[in-house]
Structure 1
Amino acid sequence: MVKKYNLIAVLLVLILVVAGCGSANNNAGNGEDAKPVESSSNPNASYDDVTVKIGVQGKGGLFGKAQEQKWFEDAFGELGVKVEWLEFQSGPPMIEAMTSNHLDFAGMGNMPPISAQAAGINFKIISQLLDGKNNVAIIVPNDSPIKSIADLKGKKVAVTKGSNAYNFLYQVLQKAGLDNSDIQEIQLQPDETQPSFESGKVDAWAVWDPYITLNTLSGKGKVLADGESEGVLSPSFQLVRSDFANDYPELVTLYLKTFEQARQWEANNQEEAYQRYADERNIPIDLVKGIQSRAAMINIPVSDETIASQQNTANFQFELGTIRKEINVADVFDNQYIEEALK
């Protein structure tokens, strides 16, 4: 049984441990103004007064290790480029910072980029961070009589509006032949939902990790459906500000190459990494391991299949009215940088 601990701290661990599979041959959305990547250290480039602004969600985790070891500072410093770290709580404010040229790189789930693209904000998705199969789910209490999505009809389902879980919930309902009105939607933030879930005030909860792992490991809940079982993905991506990528394509490649080196450190030193993450937030290491099993970080080109899934999500959000115009998501995907970084 997992001991009681601060839920907000646990949430931060997920954000930190996860920054967030496909073919390596998709250059969708390059656009005519995109500069081809020539090198991760172009000796002819001018970097006078250039500072790379990297966004992170919370403190610690893999990026905390990277900051401690100065991996990014050393890599960019060889070119005379400075590094600035900026902390955020979620994806939407990262998008806002990119819009005002105050942020160059950020990792986030699949919903904020869709809203940003529909709003005409210029950015590129340059790699995939999570495959999106298990990091979002619908959970029910362990003793719940609910056995299928169809059983949710007439039930109280908690969800955070605008989140990946919100998109997941309604796509899953649609697949099961249920209308939006067939459930009683309870709009709550996760820290508000937890006590309601434990007390039985809600029948089900559409949510992301660490709340999935928290409740399943503690015996309070079980997974009714997730992305893998329903074929509804909730991937995460790395984004770059378009103007930055157009001006400094080789620095985008260098960012991804350095991030991959950090990710490889974690993969090759799992026990040390997971213990570090657990100690940072004073939570059980089993919880960290559970989160990692559901949301193992990747850094790969975005496949045609994932782009198609993202398009389905965008189309669905347009139908729901959460975005005001139809978009072609392929326009913002650009795999050239990650392909160069992984050579």
Structure 2
Amino acid sequence: MTDDTPAGRSPSRRTLLKAGLGAAALPFASPAVHAAARDVKISMQRSSVLFTVLKVKGTLAERLAPLGFTPTWHLFTSVIEPMNAGAVDIHADVADAVPIFTQSARAPLTFFARERGSPAAEAIIVPADSPIRTVGDLKGRTVGVSRGSGSHYVLAAALKRAGLSFDDIRPAYLQAPEGAAAFEQGSLDAWSIWDPFLAFAEAKRPVRAIANGTGLTSYHRYYLVNDSFVAAHPKVVATVYQALVEAGQWVKANPEAAVALLTPVWGDLPPAVVAAANARRTYQVEPVERAQLGEQQAIADTFLEAKLIPRRIDATDVRIWTPPAVKG
């Protein structure tokens, strides 16, 4: 999945660096810590709202200090490669489609949390004055999408439901920022995208959604950790899990404060855009249960049919860490 700054309003590099949202893989500034503390490397992407809250408020640094750890924050525009390579310890929350690619690559990753589904936070949009009224009208059209993202699955599933495939359209594989620019410039007939880019596009110009995740995917977001890290440091993972739960509760209980916190970090987007994106996400963090991974199999099967992964996988055959409080 890929996330970066939406196009349209372009903050300067200085502004981005100040906000901690610079180029791909640019680490966030980290607080000074005792030399004996070990770093726990955490990846982030644009839509990693709860990790952003924990970073800006300093909550996770405070919680991990007694365990001898300090968080370092690493922003990526594409998360699949660092997840496959184990480049960080704890990985950004990712759309439901992303673990299919990491599992296919046999990446040594463990699921440790998920954010309950928000299907309306992904959509296929067209300009409001477009003659395209349905997904079936996408035949022969240029459709922007980020390869490997949750929106990639939404597009694949929507096409399949309409009796079409990727062979029937002209897919334009673009990172989200490039997709935003191409859509704004009229280079795309349609764009399959997620929040906050979806909310920004809706605010930038009149658009119409011809489909969203409803009926196609629940759009759960998953949090993963390297196998070796969770085996060696389960208390750190438990601390991160609980902090994520509380951050999600805070965002929903304090929507105006959450908007105020996120607006400057997201490059001073209009507050209404941030509020719209937050309203569509549940931010309800919960344990991962194997019995609830059936939808992951549907995603895997769709990607195999579309030749996006090389082999069939059992999407439920993954490693899962369960928080101590909910273990039987």
Which range, TM-score by smaller chain? 0.7 to 0.9
Deviation at 1:183, TM superposition (A): 2.0
Higher RCO (CA 8 Å, separation ≥ 6 residues): 1
Identity percentage of aligned residues: 27
**Aligned 1:96-115 pairs, distance under 5 A:** 96-98=84-86, 102-115=88-101
Partner of 2:115: 129
Say which SS state the counterpart of residue 119 (structure 2) adopts: coil
Change over 3 Å in CA distance of 1:245–1:291 after alignment to 2: same
Partner of 1:279: 264
User: Does the 8 Å CA contact 1:53/1:86 hold for their aligned counterparts?
Assistant: yes
Partner of 1:240: 225
CA distance in 2, matches of 1:81, 1:195: 40
Partner of 1:5: 9
2:171 equivalent to 1:185:
yes
User: Does the 8 Å CA contact 2:50/2:244 hold for their aligned counterparts?
Assistant: no
Choose which of 158, 178, 183 in structure 2 pairs with 1:197: 183
Larger Rg: 1
CA distance in 1, matches of 2:145, 2:313: 25
Say which SS state the counterpart of residue 317 (structure 2) adopts: helix
Deviation at 1:321, TM superposition (A): 2.2
Deviation at 1:95, TM superposition (A): 0.3
Deviation at 1:64, TM superposition (A): 4.3
User: Does the 8 Å CA contact 2:263/2:274 hold for their aligned counterparts?
Assistant: yes
Deviation at 1:147, TM superposition (A): 1.9
Deviation at 1:268, TM superposition (A): 2.7
Partner of 1:23: none
Say which SS state the counterpart of residue 288 (structure 1) adopts: helix
CA distance in 2, matches of 1:96, 1:172: 28
Change over 3 Å in CA distance of 1:318–1:128 after alignment to 2: same
Change over 3 Å in CA distance of 1:293–1:69 after alignment to 2: closer
User: Does the 8 Å CA contact 1:124/1:241 hold for their aligned counterparts?
Assistant: yes
Please tell me the residue identity of whatever aligns with 2:159: L
**Aligned 1:1-343 pairs, distance under 5 A:** 5-6=9-10, 51-57=39-45, 62-98=50-86, 102-228=88-214, 230-280=215-265, 281-302=267-288, 306-332=292-318, 334=320, 336-337=322-323, 340=325
Please tell me the residue identity of whatever aligns with 1:5: R
**What is the aligned-residue RMSD (CA, Å)?**
3.3
Q: Unpaired segments of 5 or more residues in structure 2?
A: 1-6, 22-35
CA distance in 1, matches of 2:204, 2:75: 30
User: Does the 8 Å CA contact 1:253/1:340 hold for their aligned counterparts?
Assistant: no
Deviation at 1:87, TM superposition (A): 3.2
TM-score after normalising by structure 2? 0.79
Please tell me the residue identity of whatever aligns with 1:63: F
Say which SS state the counterpart of residue 114 (structure 1) adopts: helix
Q: How many residues align?
A: 303
Please tell me the residue identity of whatever aligns with 1:317: F
Q: Unpaired segments of 5 or more residues in structure 1?
A: 17-47
- Could you list the per-position Cα deviations for residues 114-161 of structure 1 after superposition, in whole angstroms to 9, with x for gaps in the alignment? 111111111111111251402221101101222222222232322233
CA distance in 2, matches of 1:258, 1:276: 17
Deviation at 1:215, TM superposition (A): 2.5
User: Does the 8 Å CA contact 2:61/2:70 hold for their aligned counterparts?
Assistant: yes
CA distance in 1, matches of 2:218, 2:47: 27
User: Does the 8 Å CA contact 1:62/1:262 hold for their aligned counterparts?
Assistant: yes
CA distance in 1, matches of 2:70, 2:269: 34
